[in-house]
Structure 1
Amino acid sequence: MFPQAVFAPIGQVSGPVITQAMPRGEDAFLFDLEALLSNTLSHMDYSFADYLREFLDERKCYLLSRNSFNDACSRLPSSVLRRFAGVFASCGTELWVDQQLVDCHDHAFSDDLYEFVVNVVRKSAFYERTPPLIDQGAACLRICLAGVRASAAERRKYELWEKKAQELPEIVREFQFRFPKYAIYQDTATSLLILPDSFSLVSIRKQIETHQKPARLISYLHVNTAKGFAKPLCDALPRTDVLSKIAGPSDVSQLLSYEVRRMSGRDPLIRLPENAREEA
């Protein structure tokens, strides 16, 4: 396991905060799709897309999405998506380059696990229960109890009910007891995400290094992603890498504005003592 990463607080740039001599090479950037959208059902804002596109032209950047590659295609302008050096879709279990699937971690979920999912849906106490959304990737399984065609208002209704009922944490505890060889996360306020322990998101840094030996991996992850399925990656990042846990596009814009100034040499690097730590 790698040493702990340095965290930069929201509102301050992640890029210049370092604790040791900068390794040689070009920084690589990892963007969480959820952090680029105002909400999980929306599309990218056009003005923000223009700003991000300019940055993607200057640096080697990768996209991480909890959903499928097709979902990313539907939410981002094609002019933005094709500028990413790679897209880690379906929670990082798939790597897409130039709209081609180049790497995939496959997993066959057991019948017992599917039966558990069916029982979870059947026993849900939500008063407006509808057929759930069950989205399966190559090695991930997502269950949205708000419903397969739930609107934003319907998802919000389930979210408000869930805050009082606390049904999802109970499902997580039962699942962890019955299926110890899987990881389960409360993916959003209305959904659960299941991944096999045969897959680790830590592998995506190694995949990036096969295409480029970065000086650092600078990651902009939504707070939900960082504490959910991306937590193993966050815990394993080397000391020289930088992780910013952010809430949305406005935070990304603020951080990238500093990166642009730093790239142009207008802002100096800030060197911290070796034992310094900043928590987001």
Structure 2
Amino acid sequence: MLLRVPHPWPLLPGRLVARYKRFIAEIDLESGERIRAHCVNPGRMEGQVRPGARAWVSPVPAASKRKLRYTWELVEEDGRIVGANTVAPNRVVADLLAARVLPGLKRFGQLRSEVAYAERSRVDFLLDGATPHYVEVKNCHLRYPDARGYFPDSVSARATHHLHALREVVEAGAKATVLFTIQRPDVEAIRPSILHDPAFAEAAREAGAAGVRFRAVTIQATLDSLDVMREIPVELAAYDTAPHARWQAKKLPWSGWRNDGP
């Protein structure tokens, strides 16, 4: 294990009822209360939106004025607890970079976050040094039976734009790394998903050829912490998507959201 990052707040267990309007998850807590939680993940969460699945939420601090008083953090999929919060990995990576445990991402002066650069872009982290190093975090949750993780699980023009921007800074003389995180440990490599977003997959290959580095780490989600387990490779080469379409079809009933409801 590379790093353990405790959850900021205790998690409350329950069962998923449904996901509504992309950003709302209705969950029955073990206490008997039915609550609405913020679903941070903007993607389809392919295979993870199964009614009755065990789910865990964190309470919002009392001082917060946010309408949804809980955040959906974890969900059980295929008998395994996996992360559902796509913002949490940025907190984990911030600690990972500060700990200076990843080769190639150890030597820097100041670590800054959410730094504006290029056109209409903000990079997750900027490592200041003799050569600035831009680090963009992409959270992956989708795993197929080939033991590969795939990103994204739906078209993401924003993610593709980030790759173009990172390619530009590399061509201008800076360094850039795309760091994938996958909040489950049973993955052997990460791939850009040609099936879900061929434009992103093509942009990733072009960015890699231009010098943008692609790396990935697995995260073990537990009820107490998010544990960074190990680094795994990123496979940018094209591949046959025929089996992926079959695997996707099996997950589709437990994907996306309902537009009715609360």
Range of TM-score over shorter length: under 0.3
Q: Which has the higher contact order (CA 8 A, sep 6+)?
A: 1
Give the structure with higher Rg (CA).
1
Higher fraction of helix? 1
- Taking structure 1 as the reference length, the TM-score comes to 0.25
- Taking structure 2 as the reference length, the TM-score comes to 0.27
